[in-house]
C-alpha cells in the first residue's frame, strides 16, 4: 500500500476490507442449502460459443418452488452447454431438460453433507478474515512509513492505527455474522 496521506491509507483499507466481505457474501450465496436458490448456479461458467460465460448472463434463473430451479436460456441452442456446465460444477444437482427449459430438482441434504457444507462455509469465512487481517497489516505498514518519512505525527499515526484496528473489528464481526447466518441456513431441516 503506497499512499501519500493517512486518508488515502484509511480509505483504501476500508474499501479492501469491504471487498473481502462482499466476496465472502457471494461465495456463501453459492453454497447449497436445503432450498433452491438461483445463487446456487448463477455463477457456473458455461462454454458459450467458445467463451466462458456465467450462467446468469445467458439464461433466466428462477426458483418457482422451494425445491426446484428453472433455467430458461435466452438462446435455446445453449441448452446442452448449460447442462454440461451444471454437471461439471459438481454441486450435487442434476439438470433435467425438456428441450426448451432446464429444471433442477434440489434434493434434501443429508446430515453428512450439511456438516461438509458447514466446514466449507467456515473455511470461506476464515479466508475472508485472513484477507481482512492482511489489509490491516499492509495499512499499518503504510502508516508507519508515512510516520517514518515525517509526513505524519506520532499522535496521528497512533490514531490511524487505532482506526485501522476498528475497521478490522467491524469487518470481522460482519464476517462472523454472515457465517452464523449461513450455518443456520445450512443446518435448518
Residue 189's pLDDT band (cuts 50, 70, 90): low
Higher pLDDT, 87 or 3: 87
pLDDT in tens, 56-109: 899 999 988 888 899 999 998 899 999 999 888 877 788 998 888 999 888 777
CATH topology of domain 38-105: Gyrase A; domain 2 (3.30.1360)
pLDDT at 39: 80
Residues 117/28, Cβ–Cβ less than 8 Å: no
Query: Could you tell me which of 30, 21, 23, 92 has the C-alpha nearest to residue 55?
Result: 30
Residues 177/22, Cβ–Cβ less than 8 Å: no
Residue 15's pLDDT band (cuts 50, 70, 90): very high
Is the fold of 6-29+110-187 the same as that of 38-105?
Answer: no
Residue 32's pLDDT band (cuts 50, 70, 90): low
Phi, psi of 59 (to 5 degrees): -155, 155
What letter would DSSP give residue 109? Answer: P
Right CATH number for 6-29+110-187 from 3.30.460.10, 1.10.3720.10, 1.10.132.20, 1.10.286.10? 1.10.132.20
Residue 170's pLDDT band (cuts 50, 70, 90): very high
- Sequence-distant (≥ 6) Cβ neighbours of residue 65 within 8 angstroms: 36
pLDDT at 28: 86
CA atoms within 13 A on the CB side of 84: 9
Task: Please state the domain extents for the chain.
Answer: 6-29+110-187, 38-105
pLDDT in tens, 116-161: 888 989 999 999 999 999 999 999 999 999 999 988 899 999 999 9
Amino acid at each position: 500500500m503506497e499512499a501519500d496521506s493517512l486518508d488515502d491509507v484509511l480509505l483504501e483499507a476500508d474499501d479492501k476490507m469491504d471487498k473481502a466481505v462482499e466476496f465472502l457474501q457471494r461465495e456463501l450465496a453459492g453454497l447449497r442449502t436445503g432450498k433452491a436458490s438461483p445463487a446456487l448456479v448463477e455463477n457456473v461458467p458455461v462454454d458459450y460459443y467458445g467463451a466462458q460465460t456465467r450462467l446468469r448472463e445467458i439464461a433466466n434463473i428462477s426458483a418457482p418452488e422451494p425445491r426446484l430451479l428453472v433455467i430458461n436460456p435466452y438462446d435455446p441452442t445453449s441448452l446442452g452447454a448449460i447442462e454440461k456446465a451444471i454437471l461439471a460444477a459438481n454441486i450435487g444437482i442434476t439438470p433435467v431438460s425438456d428441450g426448451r427449459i432446464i429444471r433442477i430438482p434440489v434434493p434434501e441434504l443429508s446430515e453428512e453433507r450439511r456438516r461438509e457444507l458447514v466446514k466449507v462455509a467456515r473455511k470461506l469465512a476464515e479466508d475472508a478474515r485472513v484477507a481482512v487481517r492482511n489489509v490491516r497489516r499492509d495499512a499499518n505498514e503504510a502508516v508507519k512509513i508515512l510516520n517514518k518519512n515525517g509526513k505524519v505525527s506520532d499522535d496521528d499515526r497512533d490514531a490511524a492505527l487505532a482506526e485501522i484496528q476498528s475497521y478490522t473489528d467491524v469487518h470481522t464481526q460482519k464476517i462472523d455474522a454472515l457465517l452464523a447466518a449461513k450455518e443456520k441456513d445450512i443446518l435448518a431441516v
